Chains A and B, each alone.
Chain A
Amino acid sequence: GESVGLHLPTLSVQEGDNSIINCAYSNSASDYFIWYKQESGKGPQFIIDIRSNMDKRQGQRVTVLLNKTVKHLSLQIAATQPGDSAVYFCAEGLGSWGKLQFGAGTQVVVTP
């Protein structure tokens, strides 16, 4: 399918290494944050979310860190695998009813 990641920042990671993807968000009033993974020709796939009353949350092989002071979000992927190659988007929830504002995205390329 078409590449989602055209002209996006690229992170090249060797298989088995840990990946860190960073995201700056814009609205200090945002209270909900989500990471999505989007593969070519597919819709965004939910990875993990975090609420503003937390600064860290762990899932399976993934950890999200939230620093509200500097409005920064990061996604850590442990032991990166070829199947992790995709475009990763952070999104912030604006308003109590869940409108999402997406960041620009980062293309992750896993090399053997």
Chain B
Amino acid sequence: DAGVTQSPTHLIKTRGQQVTLRCSPISGHKSVSWYQQVLGQGPQFIFQYYEKEERGRGNFPDRFSARQFPNYSSELNVNALLLGDSALYLCASSSGLSNQPQHFGDGTRLSIL
């Protein structure tokens, strides 16, 4: 069975540009969460979506936005990129029910020059 898939795997952008990252959840999962992982740290929560609705948002600026589509895939969009946005962006999917494990993809490595 396919796990969580993310695209692209690597991306290089310059300051001020915009980027869109994509995620396909595990088949049957209705919830997608996005995390940012800076080198040497644990992942930090950005968003969670369930049934196309935003269910939670972490402490990130409004430059970060996301959406979930009817097929439960999701996109994370970041505007006006800053050097500090360089990180591994992880997508996790789950059933959406309480206390169920989230399963992660291998992430998109975003580098800002």
A residues bordering B, Cβ < 8 Å? 2-8, 31-32, 34, 36, 41-46, 49, 51, 89, 91, 93, 95-105
Contact = CB atoms under 8 A, between A and B. Distances in A.
Interface stretch (B13-21, B33-41, B76-84): B33-41
B99 A100 contact: no
A26 B28 CA distance: 32
Contacts of A41: 106
Interface in B64-108: 90, 92, 94, 96, 98-107
Interface of chain A, main secondary structure = loop
Nearest to A95: B56
Most chain A C-beta atoms within 10 Å of own C-beta, residue among B35, B96, B99: B99
Nearest to B43: A102
B62 to A, nearest CB: 19
Contacts of A46: 101-104
A6 B39 contact: yes
Given A43-B90, A44-B90, A95-B56, A100 B102 contact: yes
B104 A44 contact: yes
